[in-house]
Amino acid sequence: MCRVPGVSRSGYYDRVQHEPSEERLLRPGTACPLRQKTKNQVWVADEIKVAHIRTRETYGTRRLQTELADNGIIVGRDRLARLRKELRLHCKQKRKFRATTSSDHNLPVTPNLLNQNFTPTAPNQVWVADSVVQAFRNQPTEGAGRETAAYAVR
């Protein structure tokens, strides 16, 4: 009986012994099982999304597997990796904080002549410049129009 459909003897008895679940279907013309998404898989995918958000989208597969196991959800690492790929869940890399302003310098500090009054009444009354120390670039701008007025090369 096993020779006609091309099923091994152990496969036949395994199939007879266990009732077919809603997760197993046979591909037409073959004895290969075709998997459908079951309620369990959908539930696991939802739990993965929740855990991914709860961990601020920073946990990879290994840490996420441990996080899920702590919550009573046992899922293999390969399955978790596959589901994360299907759900398009990727880790955000934590960026190191870098100070962009150095206030610890001996350079002269320009006085604030505007006293926070940034509303000129006519063009060419107020000229402003970026006070950041940059190599090869300083851009004075005209206050009313906010366009670059000149370039200076050091």
Residue 88 has pLDDT above 70, yes or no: yes
67-82 pLDDT, tens digit per residue, is: 999 999 999 999 999 9
- 10 lies in a domain? yes
Place of tokens 């670039």: 137
Domain count for the chain: 3
Contact 77, 61 (CB under 8 A): yes
DSSP 68-98: HHHTT----HHHHHHHHHHTT--PPPPPPP-
User: Which residues neighbour 38 within 8 Å (Cβ) at sequence distance 6 or greater?
Assistant: 21, 22, 23
- 98 lies in a domain? no
> Do 4 and 32 fall within a single domain?
yes
Residue 20 has pLDDT above 80, yes or no: no
- 54 lies in a domain? yes
Contact 120, 113 (CB under 8 A): no
User: Which residues neighbour 154 within 8 Å (Cβ) at sequence distance 6 or greater?
Assistant: 135, 136, 138
- 153 lies in a domain? no
Question: What is the pLDDT at residue 151?
Answer: 54
CA distance 65 to 56: 15
Residue 38 has pLDDT above 50, yes or no: yes
Contact 36, 25 (CB under 8 A): yes
- 140 lies in a domain? yes
- 91 lies in a domain? no
Provide the residue range defining the domain that includes 69.
39-86
Average pLDDT over the chain, rounded to an integer:
76
CA distance 49 to 118: 48
Residue 128 has pLDDT above 70, yes or no: yes
Residue 42 has pLDDT above 80, yes or no: yes
**What pTM does this model have?**
0.43
What is the band of 148 on the pLDDT scale with cuts at 50, 70, 90?
low
Question: What is the pLDDT at residue 23?
Answer: 47
User: Which residues neighbour 27 within 8 Å (Cβ) at sequence distance 6 or greater?
Assistant: 33, 34
- 104 lies in a domain? no
